[in-house]
Structures are given as C-alpha cells and as structure tokens.
Structure 1
C-alpha cells in the first residue's frame, strides 16, 4: 500500500524535533501535522483491515 502512515509519522517526528531544536515554529507545526496525518492513516488502515476480516470471515454470524 505504499505509504502506510509510518513514513508520515517518522518524517513528522523528525520535522517537529528539528523545529524545536532550531526554534522554527513553522517547521515544528508542520511536523506535528504530518505526524498526526500518519497516526490517522494507521488508524484507518486498522479499521479497514478489521472490516475486511469481518466481511471475509462472515462476521461470525450464521
């Protein structure tokens, strides 16, 4: 699936840290945003996987 959110999380964390260290609030904010985007992507993927599993497995109902 390409970028599964981990890349955004890692890049965001790096930017956020670099922004804090250099005092660059714009970079820090951009990093926080990108990290949050990665978190959201990962959560959506987990839900999608659960739904796919439920549909494939019949949802446990007979």
Structure 2
C-alpha cells in the first residue's frame, strides 16, 4: 500500500479502536500510521539518492 493509504487506514483503525474501547485496534492503527511514515521517509531518501526529487 502507499504511504497515504497506510496513514488513512491507521487513522481509521485508531479511531474505531477509540470508539469501541479496543486497545489492540488502536495499537494496530498507530502501527499502520508509523508504517506509512516510514514508507514516506524511505521513498524520499530513495528519490534523493537517485536524483528523482521534485
């Protein structure tokens, strides 16, 4: 999945976990958001190394 998809999915899971009191779902949401941020950082670093930064 893309960076923005992971972040959006994570926010949705975290919100659903918050509404239902499901701590595990909240943690999954936070992990998905972190995964999206990491993907973004890796993509940015890759772009800088290859000269593809816009």
Q: TM-score of the superposition, structure 1-length normalised?
A: 0.77
What is the aligned-residue RMSD (CA, Å)? 1.3
After TM superposition, the runs of 4+ consecutive aligned structure 1 residues lying more than 6 A away are none
Give 5+ residue unaligned stretches, structure 1.
55-62
| 1:38 aligned residue (36, 39, 43) | 36
**Deviations, residues 5-52 of structure 1 (Å, cap 9, x unaligned):** 111111001100110111000100000001100110011001100111
Asked which structure has the greater CA Rg, the reply is 1
Q: TM-score of the superposition, structure 2-length normalised?
A: 0.87
CA distance in 2, matches of 1:47, 1:27: 30
